[in-house]
Amino acid sequence: MLSRLSPCSRRIPVRFSSNGSNEPDLSDPKMLALHKMYRPERITPSKRGIDLLKTPGLNKGMAFSLEERQYLGIHGLLPPAFMTEEQQAYRIMTKLRQQPDNLAKYVQLDSLHDRNEKLFYRVLTENVKELMPIVYTPTVGQACQHFGFIYRNPKGLYITINDNSISKIYHILANWHTENVKAIVITDGERILGLGDLGTYGIGIPVGKLSLYVALAGIRPEWCLPVILDVGTDNGELLNDPFYTGLRRKRVRGPEYDTLVDNFMKAATKRFGRDTLIQFEDFGNQNAYRLLDRYKGEYCMFNDDIQGTAAVVVAGLLASTRVTKKKMSQEKFVFLGAGGAATGVAEMCVRQMMDEGLTEEEACARIYMVDIDGLITKNRIKNLGERHIKFAKDLPDTKNLLEIVKTVKPGALIGASTVAGAFTEEILKEMAANNPRPIVFALSNPTSKAECTAEAAYRCTNGTVLFASGSPFDNVELNGKLFKPGQGNNAYIFPGVALGAILFCTKHIPDKLFLIAARMVAEAVSEKSLNTYSRVYPRLKDIRELSVQIAIAVGEYCYKHDLATLHPKPEDMEMFIRQNVYSVEYDDLINATYEWPAKDTKHGFPVPVLRRTSMDDE
């Protein structure tokens, strides 16, 4: 639980220790007082023996001290060796690197998560570049496809269309093992990455997403709850899969579906509080925007596919402007794909260009969108959705992307189509012919769905491209230069936004917060990354610190605009955040003992002689 805060009248900046760490300088009495106020307190667990060893949040394996083993009733239940957490992490990574493929690595990490939570997150945070593609995209997509086969232990809650009432859903939520849930990631499994409808196999997505909440922002695991809404599946292969873990029925749509989502939102906030963060993930296009519009002004919620993707793409574009020396409002953009994610990116680009001085109409005029039926034009106006009308152009209808690029001459080409290879060699060369430093983002997930590879982008543009992808690509060496392609991963955005929203108990999450986060990510890209490696995103190992900075900005904005409900405002925002983030270091499980004054612990206060009548009788 969050610490109670003292009232304050001014913000005092944290003074850090002289060794350069992020620990506050506790020699300062003011800092020491705030540290004691904000820090989480240790509580000796009530569990003992084998039950403690089977609790992932408490288990330390052979890192338990002899005192802990004896006191907690686990002496003799463990091998007699004593290991450090560092030894354990080395052992895990050594074994992990011997696995035959990424799916086997996913299964091993999943097993570690079931046994030892602290060690799992230590391994993940210390090896984030190597392991993030395992616990999340692209390997999580493969894991979801095979989820029925690799399923071991429950990782979240399943709420079905048969549980469609506030009371029934509340009772399911009450079955979760913790009561202090502050962050829920929910999906209905209809659009898992670029893989389509995976039904309840999609539970791997909220599980993986929340793992990144912890690893990349320090959000406490006990605050996190993965949820899947099972309304059936339209995937015929799954309906005939003997391992399938969900309802064997076609997807429910319409009013009954809407009622289920409504009931879930009401039950979740009734159970865990109105300020509970609820992140929507991998909903189908027909529901994603609609549900976001329905709930974002009423609940503390966001849709990462729309808002998170938009923010991270705009962050990459803003970083690219440092190389092209042109503002976004001076560029033209062609989007291949016009689904929820692409439209969200386009709308955030418009907001950024408006902040740079354009009108909404002028900003929309610089964005060209291509969907499955071709370029979105005014000839198609009758069949366009409300969000697409403003991007319709007075141009001939065409499905030929190369023709569009030749006509528009965009500075940036952005792919969110899940059409592998859609950015052909001719298109990439045309982008290079029109721009000294063309911007090409192939964002579709997983890697097999990317519009082009990093190697193709660099080769076809002779290394001039500013490239980013949705899933990771290996480094590319061309003409004696090493290129390190950036991954436009939402993980740069959502952990920090979520951390701020959770700690400051926000009422809801306005779009402006995502634009603020995008600008901070762009500013965090080093000159070396941009100019030496042509990488338009920060290093992955910097994400956790970046998340803290984003959370500070989120908190400041929310207090300024009366969106934060944590009162009073923390006297030192940064220190408050750092004291509440999750540590991957093992905790001492036994509270330190302390002495009382000797006179207050003295035994044997004199008592009068007690007359024992029955004993004295003859």
Of 544, 484, 503, the C-alpha closest to 214 is: 544
How remote is the C-alpha of 161 from its chain's centroid? 27
State the Cα–Cα distance between residues 577 and 618, nearest whole angstrom.
76
| pLDDT of 545 strictly over 70 | yes
Helix 102-115 crosses helix 85-96 at what angle (to 10 degrees)?
A: 150
Reported for 245-250, long-range contacts at CB under 8 A and 24+ positions apart, including other chains, are 245/147, 245/148, 245/151, 245/200, 245/201, 246/158, 246/189, 246/199, 246/200, 246/201, 247/160, 247/161, 247/162, 247/199, 247/200
The radius of gyration computed from the CA coordinates of the chain, to the nearest angstrom, equals: 27
Mean pLDDT calculated for residue range 456-472: 95
| pLDDT of 418 strictly over 70 | yes
The pLDDT tens digits of the residues spanning 26-64 come to 888 989 999 999 988 888 999 999 999 999 999 999 999
Determine how many CB atoms are found less than 10 A away from the CB of residue 90: 13
Of 335, 342, 232, the C-alpha closest to 285 is: 342
The pLDDT tens digits of the residues spanning 86-137 come to 999 999 999 999 999 999 999 999 999 999 999 999 999 999 999 999 998 8
Greater confidence (136 vs 556) lies with 556
**Annotation: binding site for a divalent metal cation:** 281-282, 305
Of 335, 307, 341, 311, the C-alpha closest to 439 is: 335
| pLDDT of 194 strictly over 50 | yes
Q: Which two tokens stand for residue 430?
A: 């045309």
Greater confidence (217 vs 17) lies with 217
Mean pLDDT calculated for residue range 165-189: 97
- Strand-pairing partners, residue 230, are 160
| pLDDT of 9 strictly over 70 | no
Residues annotated as catalytic (active site), given as ranges: 136, 209
Burial class from Cβ neighbours inside 10 Å (0-12, 13-18, 19+) for residue 314 reads buried
Mean pLDDT calculated for residue range 295-322: 96
pLDDT recorded at residue 612: 76
Q: Which two tokens stand for residue 318?
A: 């803003």
Of 60, 131, 141, the C-alpha closest to 99 is: 131
Greater confidence (14 vs 128) lies with 128
| pLDDT of 20 strictly over 60 | no
Contacts of 485 (CB under 8 A, 6+ apart): 454, 457, 467, 468, 469, 472, 473, 475, 476, 534, 535
Q: Report how far apart, in Å, the C-alpha atoms of 345 and of each of 127, 304, 311 are.
A: 30, 11, 7
**Annotation: binding site for (S)-malate:** 191, 445, 489
Mean pLDDT calculated for residue range 156-169: 98
Q: Report how far apart, in Å, the C-alpha atoms of 371 and of each of 340, 385, 388, 416, 438 are.
A: 11, 12, 10, 10, 22
Burial class from Cβ neighbours inside 10 Å (0-12, 13-18, 19+) for residue 379 reads middle
Contacts of 141 (CB under 8 A, 6+ apart): 192, 193, 194, 195, 445, 446
Greater confidence (4 vs 286) lies with 286
The pLDDT tens digits of the residues spanning 229-277 come to 999 999 999 999 999 999 999 999 999 999 999 999 999 999 999 999 9
How remote is the C-alpha of 67 from its chain's centroid? 38
Q: Which two tokens stand for residue 466?
A: 């500013």
pLDDT recorded at residue 618: 57
**Annotation: binding site:** 191, 281-282, 305, 445, 489
| pLDDT of 435 strictly over 80 | yes
| pLDDT of 23 strictly over 90 | no
User: Which helix (DSSP H) or strand (DSSP E) does residue 483 occupy?
Assistant: strand 481-483
Mean pLDDT calculated for residue range 559-580: 96
Mean pLDDT calculated for residue range 527-539: 95
Beta strand 374-375 with 367-371 is antiparallel
Beta strand 277-280 with 183-187 is parallel
Of 604, 544, 600, the C-alpha closest to 577 is: 544
| pLDDT of 363 strictly over 70 | yes
What is the residue-wise DSSP string for 513-559?
HHHHHHHHHHHTS-HHHHHHH---S--GGGHHHHHHHHHHHHHHHHH
pLDDT recorded at residue 3: 38
Query: What is the sign, positive or negative, of the torsion defined by CA atoms of 167, 173, 178, 181?
Result: negative
pTM as predicted: 0.92
Contacts of 404 (CB under 8 A, 6+ apart): 334, 368, 370, 375, 398
pLDDT recorded at residue 137: 83
Mean pLDDT calculated for residue range 476-501: 96
Side-chain-side CA neighbours of 100 within 13 Å: the count stands at: 0
| pLDDT of 1 strictly over 70 | no
Q: Do the Cβ atoms of 104 and 96 come closer than 8 Å?
A: no
